[in-house]
Amino acid sequence: MFPIRDTQNSQKFPLVNLGLIAFTIYVFIQELFTPNIDLFIAEYALIPAKINFFQFETLTPFITSIFLHAGFLHILSNMWFLWIFGDNVEAAMGHVKYLIFYLFCGVAASFIQYLFIQNSFLPMLGASGAIAGILGAYLKFFPHNTIDTIIPIFGLPLIIALPAGLMLVYWFFTQAFNGVAAVFTATASIGGIAYLAHAGGFASGYITSIITRKG
């Protein structure tokens, strides 16, 4: 199930959303051309075992890791979701609240994942948790919008218009189910995907959006 467009345009220029996409792409380019990618990731990604809540400098990766990505598919899929859903949420919240909301959801998602892997030296990176928060807010604000979605049926990719509520609730429960499964199998993620961060970001976004709507 993969969304390709939101059929309800926000009718407002998504200044912050476009800025977030542009800045994330800029950071990814810096990753590609840095002389030492391992050092770059070690400095800016979130490495749970290095977190010390009494040393501020070890906490900044909760923010910086949001803008890092592990490869082209990782950043393309994340920016695609942000492009589709972010403009409507920004229009509902306003520019400044939207930016703060995005960063908050990214931090909340990473923190929830961190709680289960505090001794891990594997780097956490990516905007998925923050974008999951955007999806949660979209569900709160626009549950009756429709999303043109690619769904494989008998091996054929069909485009079906689905209610946003149906698609996003399904997405959340798949993330939560896989996250719980990862906990019970003593793994932080499945196939490198931080499902608990996704589910946590989504829940944080949905709950927080109740008090962050514009006006």
From the list 97, 78, 113, the residue with the least C-alpha distance to 15 is: 97
Helices 72-93 and 128-141 pack at an angle, to 10 degrees, of 40
pLDDT at res. 213: 66
From the list 19, 165, 161, the residue with the least C-alpha distance to 102 is: 19
Rounded Cα distance between 183 and 143, Å, is: 30
pTM above 0.75, yes or no: yes
Residue 203: partners with Cβ closer than 8 Å, 6 or more residues away: 136, 172
pLDDT at res. 177: 66
188: which strand partners? Answer: none
Q: All domains of the chain, ordered by start, with CATH?
A: 7-144+195-209 (1.20.1540.10)
For the chain, 215 residues long, give each residue's pLDDT as a single digit of tens: 788 988 888 888 999 999 999 999 999 999 999 999 999 999 999 999 999 999 999 999 999 999 999 999 999 999 999 999 999 999 999 999 999 999 999 999 999 999 988 999 999 999 999 999 999 999 999 999 999 998 888 778 889 999 999 989 888 888 776 766 665 555 544 445 678 888 889 999 999 998 876 65
